[in-house]
Structure formats: structure tokens, C-alpha cells
Structure 1
């Protein structure tokens, strides 16, 4: 399927590993020009060498650095056609055991940074009367399952996706979201669990995922490039669940 993404300028946050890196790679395969951002310079350098993307070392919890990121991206690419708000992290445990500071940190990382970058990108996209903003949420933004601070921040992001989409669609800018379920990539969390129990992934999939396995980062990335394309022109404001049936909700 031809997605007509050639020469589109795409910014992916949290693009050095996992879902973000797979999304960056998928856009590159479609002929787009891609920039990624993260905090770890070593990981940025590795991604740059592997993918050939433009990189930006920024801490997206700092407002000034979000503004610097957008200014640098526009300077390098002249415009922004697609923003993928993928950067995120989980904080704390159960509600009573999680300090308020961790809730605040989760909201700043997973929600506020995406809202601010959407404001900055949306302003640029309005000038060109075209663009797509994709927010990477989680099935746990729709239902319980993860750490409560994480759940709350992703639920806020899903709500923001709908609100902003209604505001920007009149300017031919679509705002959409993806809610991944459990998706495997060799990060420290999954590796630690496998060290404790080599059969952890198999048992997790059997107990929680009707499809019988964890998702892959490419499966999330495939949805992202589709949503950014003209083929998804009538998808506005919704956050699509991509989880092999893991979610217990029927929407």
C-alpha cells in the first residue's frame, strides 16, 4: 500500500529504543525525513548511526527544552508534518505507596510534555493547513492494570487527543492516538523479569493476552505510519487499541 509519506518531516519523541525507534524506522522506510529526541546521548548516537536520523538531546520535562527542540527541528527541516508524542515512563507503585511527586513526574513526562509539543507543532501546522499529531498512550489509559500514576497520565493523554482533534481538524490537522498493550523490546524492565523467571513472557502472554504472545514494536509502528497517511483521513480524535486482545474493554 502506498502511504504517500515521502518527503514528510516527522519528529518522534523517545525515539532511541522500543516503540519510538520502530516508529522512526517505519517512517524512514516510507521515505519520510525523521528527527528523534531523547535524553541519553549514547542512545541517540547509536540510533543516528543505525537509522541515519537527525537527533536532538533534550529533556522533555523542561519547558524551555521543548521549545528549543521545536525550534531546532524547524530550522533543520523547515516544517513539521507529523509529530509522534511517544516519550514516556512509569513511576511509583500502588496509590498509597506512591508519593505525590511521582504522580507529578508522570504527568509532566507522559502528558504535559505532549500537550506542550502539540501546541508548538499545531501552531506550525496551522500555518501550512496540514499535519498529523499521534499520541502514544496505553491500554492502561483506558482501564486499570499499570501503575496508577502511569494510568492517570495516559488517560489524560487520551482525553487530550480527543479535545485537541476537535480543535484542529478544521485546519486539516488530524490528532489521533495509539494505545499499545504489552509490547516486547529488550529494555531493562523486561530483561530483569526474564532473569528472575526465564518463562515470564510465556506465562504473561498465556495469562493476559488472548493472542498468546506479546506484541512487537513493528506492529505498533505499522499502525503509526498508517494513521499518519492519507489512507486514515477519516480517523480523527480516536485512540486505537493495538494489543492482541489484551484489553478487557470492548472498544
Structure 2
């Protein structure tokens, strides 16, 4: 039984064709929403739940004309947009000292500029609707802790979290905005070695109080909650999904962390 009901609602999940975005789209479909997903290229399969599939619209969110085309298509089909989940983003591992200017600009554009552009356009739609709307932005714990190897990404996500707080004031009361900041997530890429081999993955989990990585379902659950009426008084907030954070390095270095970790 679904805890949330989005029947009659139209939801857009950017980057919703794989990974975390795919699971978010599937969960909104299961909750009764009409779901649109976008990416630059159409995948072989689309998010689906109980025989209902998401609708795909090709769009490169770094191109403002394609954002406008995406939203025009949604409004032409449904006449409304109730929820935006701005999930598209990411970054390769690259040392800041050797990153090219073009790569740095591309990372910032994808993770900060593009979400701001689509938010501006979606706000114009939602402000015209009697029921307004909700925007949920998938950020990262990299926004509020050091992010070596993904410096531009962390800086962009920090900007995104700040923007959510600011826009929640500018666009209230008709439009709510929230951010979700997961730590490392066990996607298919992670299972295939994105964070290293099985031994490395186990060592990473040992640094997390919850003793595991987040799952796409963890992130999806947070998005559904924040987009629901149960979170009607939540706006400008940033929900951290980090399993309790990280065991402090000085405890791990001294071996004292064992006193704070329950043996399995």
C-alpha cells in the first residue's frame, strides 16, 4: 500500500531514465502520478509501475530552448505541472589542479545553472495554477562537507541548496521548494565498481554509522514525502540522507571508533 497519493498530479523527473531518477519516477508512478522523464537520449526501457510507464521527452537541460520545449510538451499534454524533481546531475572524479576550464564550467552548468533555469520556467507555470506546486532538488552531502576530487560538483550543489532556501522565500506561498542531500548511493554503477571492488565498498560502509550506503529507494521516499501534503509546511529545507554522517577521522585513526560501532 502506497503511503502517498499523487493521483491526478503531473510530475517531471529530470534525469529520470536511470539510477536514482528512475527509481524516483517509478515510485511516483506507483503513487498514481502521470510522470514525465527527460534525458538527452531515449533509453531502451522507461520507468514503469503496474503496467503504467513514464512519458519520455528528449531534452538537454543545458540548453534553455530545450527546457522550454520540454515544458511546453508537458503543458500541452496535461495542462499542468504539479511536481518537479530536479535530479539530473553528476560529475566525474577529477583533480581541481588539472581540470580543464571547459570541464569545470560543464559541471557547474549541469548541477547549478540548468536547475536554476528549469526552476525559473517551472515557477512561471506553477504560479498560474490554483494549487501552485512543489519543486524538489536532488543535491548532495558534498554541498556541506569537503568534496575532494569533485570540487566543482560540491560547490555547485552548495549553490543549489542555498538557491532552494532563497527561492522558497521569493516564490512563496504558492510554490514550495526543498532539497534532498544523499551521501553515497548504492546504484547499479556502484555495484559495478564505481566506488571500487567489494572490499573497498565494505570499507566505505564501515565509515557510515548506518553501516550501509543509501539506496535509490531511500532518496525516492524522501522526494515523495517532501512533494506530498504531509510536508506542506516544509519549504526552503535541505533533508540530509547520510545514514548518520561519517565516523570522525580521529576516532577511526585511533581505533576508538570501535566503541561507537555496534558489532554485527
**TM-score exceeds 0.5:** yes
TM alignment of 1:1-251, pairs within 5 A? 2-41=3-42, 43=43, 45-47=44-46, 52-91=53-92, 93-129=94-130, 130-146=132-148, 147-170=150-173, 172-187=174-189, 190-193=191-194, 197-206=197-206, 208-246=207-245
Q: CA deviation at 1:192?
A: 3.4
Q: CA deviation at 1:200?
A: 2.1
What is the rounded CA distance, in whole Å, between the counterparts of 1:6 and 1:144 in structure 2? 40
Q: Which moved more, 1:196-205 or 1:131-140?
A: 196-205
Q: CA deviation at 1:247?
A: 5.2
What is the rounded CA distance, in whole Å, between the counterparts of 1:70 and 1:183 in structure 2? 29
Q: Which moved more, 1:94-103 or 1:65-74?
A: 94-103
Any conservation in 2 of the 1:91–1:105 contact (CA below 8 Å)? no
Any conservation in 1 of the 2:17–2:46 contact (CA below 8 Å)? yes
Q: CA deviation at 1:93?
A: 1.7
Any conservation in 2 of the 1:74–1:80 contact (CA below 8 Å)? yes
The structure where helix makes up a greater share of residues is 1
Any conservation in 2 of the 1:15–1:38 contact (CA below 8 Å)? yes
Calculate the TM-score normalised by the size of structure 2.
Answer: 0.86
Q: Structure 2: give runs of 5+ residues left out of the alignment.
A: 249-264
What is the rounded CA distance, in whole Å, between the counterparts of 2:157 and 2:86 in structure 1? 12
**Runs of 4+ in structure 1 over 4 Å off:** 48-51
Any conservation in 2 of the 1:133–1:176 contact (CA below 8 Å)? yes
Larger Rg: 2
Q: Which residue of 1 aligns with 2:260?
A: none
Calculate the TM-score normalised by the size of structure 1.
Answer: 0.90
Any conservation in 2 of the 1:139–1:247 contact (CA below 8 Å)? no
Post-superposition Cα deviations, 1:52-78, rounded to whole Å, max 9, x if no partner, equal: 110011111111111111111111221
What is the rounded CA distance, in whole Å, between the counterparts of 2:47 and 2:212 in structure 1? 30
Q: SS of the counterpart of 1:21? A: helix
Post-superposition Cα deviations, 1:154-213, rounded to whole Å, max 9, x if no partner, equal: 11111111111111113x2100010011111112x652347x52322111111x311101
Higher relative contact order (CA 8 A, sep 6+): 1
Post-superposition Cα deviations, 1:216-238, rounded to whole Å, max 9, x if no partner, equal: 10011011001001100111101
CA RMSD across the alignment: 1.9
Any conservation in 2 of the 1:13–1:37 contact (CA below 8 Å)? yes
